[in-house]
Amino acid sequence: MPTRFIVEDEAHAEQCSEHATLAEAVARLKELAGLPWNEQPNVAPCTSWRTCGRRYEIVQYETSSHPWKELRRAAALEISAQGVVWDTEFADEND
């Protein structure tokens, strides 16, 4: 079954990147975690961006039909002025 992994900002309903594997999606999140919260691509797109942040999820889709079927959605990473917080499912990979 062909699948794709999308990194999505759940708070702003914004797809950020698409990947062939979960490992690639996590690697992208590691890159984002290393960038400042108040600069692109982490700065929130809303007018209240100074008090907002990004809530990144990884969404797995089955891609053999159109539209794609969502298989799994997992909270992964939050980035804001308060800092970077990994969800427990991904925290071990980022110690």
pLDDT, tens digit, 9 for 90 and up, residues 14-34: 999 999 999 999 999 999 999
- Name the pTM for this structure: 0.90
Q: Which domain holds residue 59?
A: 3-94
How many domains does the chain contain in total?
1
Please give the share of the chain, as a percent, with pLDDT higher than 70. 97
Order the strands of the 14-19 sheet from edge to edge.
14-19, 3-9, 53-62, 69-80, 83-86
| 32-62 pLDDT tens trace | 999 999 999 999 999 988 899 999 999 999 9
Mean pLDDT on 71-92:
92
Alpha helices in 1-95 (DSSP H): 22-33, 88-91
Asked if the model's pLDDT at residue 89 lies above 90, the reply is no
Q: Which residues pair with 26 in a beta bridge?
A: none
